[in-house]
């Protein structure tokens, strides 16, 4: 699409402009006054995120050579002005907001442009321009106005996903997701994996620079692993189709990290050097921010990054986005490598969220007037005995089962505060599970407090199956009676809710180790407002 600068900046119908996130004074590089690119600078696509009633944040990263080993993406050490537009129509006849942001080398020439002044509950289109290069068009919806004033107030539709190991499967699920009718996407963690991709990049069958064969540790390595992931056309399509609300889990930094504590030393990096791990976290957090549609409050300060936040969608939904990595106590039992951990995991002082985030969550959910309070959560909340032998204790120590007192405070807090219809959406486990959340999981007659919908992976774990040994163990009669359903195929979960009910459709693919898989709905569940617990349709 070729339009003039005057058309881009001076289009009729512009009601205002916004300043870019970064000013010239925040970069040590001089400005590139007349940029010209040897290749498409938008090869990593466009995205939007964190929708509010009056706008959202727009993202892109200028990278004509996205896999350059130096991680500069083929860009010079100079800042570049990037113009953006938001319109009510896909052909940009009615531009309603425009502005300029600086893409600076210190942040890998990424752009995070926060747009305000839009109407609630509306669909908009956006694009970027730098030099003579115009980006693909993206689409995003604003949230409904508070208390249901404005469009899209009582019906909300979204998908949630997690765990997209690039070298273990193709992202066909995102191609299907992009064709859904959704208001936003919630991504629950493991956007990338820190390990080497293998000599032939796994199922992708590609030869890459040797730097991709080792675990990510430097800023350049993290940046390039994001670039490799975001080059996928199906992932780009899903980002361009909907605003995303993202949080991280462990693999964005390192498997099973907890606060300032690294994984038990299995990767050549010492797990007892807190300073070294905090430096590694700072590099990973910067690369994460550079490649996600996040607002300024989520910009990291060193190794600290506040990802927990709350988004309101009118009177129907409050979405509480959690970070269950940055503030938790260390996993007990040496990440399950040592015996005798049952008493330790039940200690009352143990925390999954940290004291501040726990108060924020419980107090905020308790004050919520929305019909549904949904927690965007990383690891499984529900208790799961993973061994059907009654004489064997087998708990997931990285999940909330390793933090039982924290789970008790969470569920008791919901009940005591009268939280409206709590529902937890969960990633991490590479399988789909539907569960009642009970005060006492060992007592089938214990009251149900809420519902958990755990979703499978996009590609991690390769093809999967409708049922496997883990599923058979978990679903053995009498072992976990609060579990309603299990599936170990790949895919995503679609959620539709209104003031009467919440419905979850599990969308699965028969394979991901080769492209072009079809999609089908494996099961559907509904939760009635005021009646916790899921019923299969």
Evaluate if residue 532 carries a pLDDT over 80. Answer: yes
If one compares 447 and 23, the residue with the highest pLDDT of the two is 447
Comparing CA positions, the residue from 438, 424, 489, 430 lying closest to residue 460 is 430
Which of 87, 111, 142 corresponds to the end of one domain? Answer: 142
Domain that holds residue 106: 1-142
C-alpha 199/C-alpha 205 separation (Å) is: 9
Q: What is the pLDDT of residue 260?
A: 95
Evaluate if residue 85 carries a pLDDT over 90. Answer: yes
Does 204 lie in the same domain as 111?
Answer: no
Contact call for residues 357 and 336 (beta carbons, < 8 A): no
pLDDT in tens, 508-518: 999 999 999 99
Which of 122, 142, 162 corresponds to the end of one domain? Answer: 142
Does 123 lie in the same domain as 166?
Answer: no
Q: What is the pLDDT of residue 269?
A: 55
* pTM of this structure: 0.94
What percent of the chain has a predicted confidence (pLDDT) above 70?
90
pLDDT in tens, 267-285: 555 556 899 999 999 999 9
Does 111 lie in the same domain as 206?
Answer: no
Does 180 lie in the same domain as 106?
Answer: no
Evaluate if residue 1 carries a pLDDT over 70. Answer: no
The whole-number average pLDDT for the span 417-427 is 98
Q: What confidence category does residue 266 fall into, taking pLDDT thresholds of 50, 70 and 90? A: low
The whole-number average pLDDT for the span 54-83 is 97
The whole-number average pLDDT for the span 108-129 is 98
Does 476 lie in the same domain as 529?
Answer: yes
Does 156 lie in the same domain as 74?
Answer: no
Comparing CA positions, the residue from 8, 146, 31 lying closest to residue 84 is 8
Domain containing residue 133: CATH number: 2.60.40.380
Comparing CA positions, the residue from 507, 409, 484, 501 lying closest to residue 176 is 507
DSSP state letter for 106: G
Q: Which residues of 1-12 are buried (b: 16+ CB within 10 A; e: fewer)?
A: eeeeeeebbebe
Does 361 lie in the same domain as 449?
Answer: yes
Contacts of 330 (CB under 8 A, 6+ apart): 258, 259, 261
Does 379 lie in the same domain as 323?
Answer: yes
Q: What is the pLDDT of residue 24?
A: 35
Q: What confidence category does residue 12 fall into, taking pLDDT thresholds of 50, 70 and 90? A: very low
Domain containing residue 221: CATH number: 3.60.21.70
Q: What is the pLDDT of residue 224?
A: 98
Does 444 lie in the same domain as 454?
Answer: yes
If one compares 258 and 273, the residue with the highest pLDDT of the two is 258
Q: What confidence category does residue 152 fall into, taking pLDDT thresholds of 50, 70 and 90? A: very low
DSSP assignments along 45-70, one per residue: -EEEEEEETTEEEEEEE--SSTT-TT
Average pLDDT score, the chain: 91
Evaluate if residue 450 carries a pLDDT over 90. Answer: yes
H-type helices in 242-378, by residue range? 274-290, 333-336, 342-345, 355-367
Which of 142, 165, 200 corresponds to the end of one domain? Answer: 142
Does 153 lie in the same domain as 78?
Answer: no
The whole-number average pLDDT for the span 385-409 is 89
- The backbone region for 320, taken as left when phi is positive above 0, alpha when psi lies in -120 to 50, beta otherwise, is beta
Does 440 lie in the same domain as 327?
Answer: yes
pLDDT in tens, 277-306: 999 999 999 999 999 999 999 999 999 999
Which tokens hold the place of 524? 């559907």
pLDDT in tens, 214-229: 999 999 999 999 999 9
Q: What confidence category does residue 340 fall into, taking pLDDT thresholds of 50, 70 and 90? A: low
Q: What confidence category does residue 335 fall into, taking pLDDT thresholds of 50, 70 and 90? A: low
Q: What is the pLDDT of residue 6?
A: 28
Does 105 lie in the same domain as 48?
Answer: yes
Domains identified in the chain, total number: 2
Evaluate if residue 110 carries a pLDDT over 50. Answer: yes
Q: What is the pLDDT of residue 265?
A: 60
Cβ neighbours of 522 (radius 10 Å): 17
User: Which pairs with CB-CB distance under 8 Å and at least 24 residues apart come from 198-207?
Assistant: 198/167, 201/166, 201/167, 202/166, 202/167, 202/168, 203/167, 203/168, 203/169, 203/170, 203/462, 203/512, 203/513, 203/514, 204/166, 204/167, 204/170
């Amino acid at each position: 699409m070729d339009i003039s600068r005057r058309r881009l900046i001076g289009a009729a119908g512009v009601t205002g402009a916004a300043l870019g996130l970064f000013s010239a004074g925040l970069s040590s590089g001089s400005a590139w006054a007349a940029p010209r690119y040897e290749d498409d600078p938008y090869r990593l696509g466009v995205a939007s995120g964190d929708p509010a009633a009056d706008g959202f944040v727009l993202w892109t990263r200028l990278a004509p050579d996205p896999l350059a080993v130096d991680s500069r993406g083929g860009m010079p050490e100079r800042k570049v002005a990037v113009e953006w537009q938001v319109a009510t129509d896909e052909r940009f006849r009615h531009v309603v907001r425009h502005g300029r942001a600086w893409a600076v080398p210190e942040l890998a020439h990424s752009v995070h442009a926060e747009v305000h002044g839009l109407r609630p509950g509306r669909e908009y289109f956006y694009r970027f321009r730098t030099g003579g290069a115009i980006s693909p068009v993206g689409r995003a919806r604003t949230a409904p106005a508070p208390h249901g004033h404005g469009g899209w107030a009582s019906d909300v539709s979204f998908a949630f996903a997690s765990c997209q190991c690039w070298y273990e499967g193709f992202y066909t699920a995102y191609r299907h997701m992009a064709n859904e009718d959704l208001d936003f996407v919630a991504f629950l963690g493991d956007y990338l994996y820190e390990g080497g991709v293998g000599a032939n990049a796994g199922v992708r069958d590609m030869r890459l620079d040797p730097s991709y064969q080792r675990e990510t540790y430097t800023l350049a390595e993290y940046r390039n692993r994001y670039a490799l992931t975001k080059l996928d056309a199906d992932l780009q399509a899903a980002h361009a189709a909907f605003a995303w609300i993202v949080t991280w889990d462990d693999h964005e930094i390192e498997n099973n990290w907890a606060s300032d504590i690294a994984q038990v030393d299995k990767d050549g990096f010492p797990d007892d050097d807190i300073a070294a791990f905090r430096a590694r976290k700072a590099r990973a957090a910067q690369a994460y921010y550079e490649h996600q549609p996040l607002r300024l409050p989520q910009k990291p300060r060193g190794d600290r990054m506040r990802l927990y936040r709350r988004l309101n969608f009118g009177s129907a939904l409050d979405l509480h986005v959690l970070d269950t990595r940055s503030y938790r106590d260390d996993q007990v039992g040496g990440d399950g490598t040592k015996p005798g951990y049952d008493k330790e995991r039940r200690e009352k002082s143990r925390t999954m969220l940290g004291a501040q985030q726990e108060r924020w969550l419980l107090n905020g959910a308790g004050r919520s007037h929305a019909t549904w309070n949904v927690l965007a959560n990383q690891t499984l909340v529900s208790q799961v005995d993973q061994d059907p032998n009654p004489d064997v204790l087998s708990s997931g120590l990285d999940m909330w089962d390793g933090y039982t007192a924290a789970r008790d405070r969470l569920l008791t807090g919901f009940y005591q505060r009268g939280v409206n219809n709590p529902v937890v959406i969960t990633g991490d486990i590479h399988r789909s599970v539907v569960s009642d959340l009970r005060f006492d999981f060992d007592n089938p007659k214990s009251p149900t407090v809420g519902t958990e919908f755990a979703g499978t992976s996009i590609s991690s774990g390769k093809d999967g199956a409708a049922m496997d040994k883990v599923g058979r163990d978990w679903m053995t009669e009498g072992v976990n009676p609060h579990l309603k359903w299990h599936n170990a195929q790949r895919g995503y979960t679609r959620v539709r809710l209104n003031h009467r009910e919440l419905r979850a459709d599990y969308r699965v693919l028969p394979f991901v180790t080769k492209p072009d898989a079809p999609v089908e709905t494996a099961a559907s569940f509904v939760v009635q407002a005021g009646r916790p617990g899921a019923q299969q349709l």
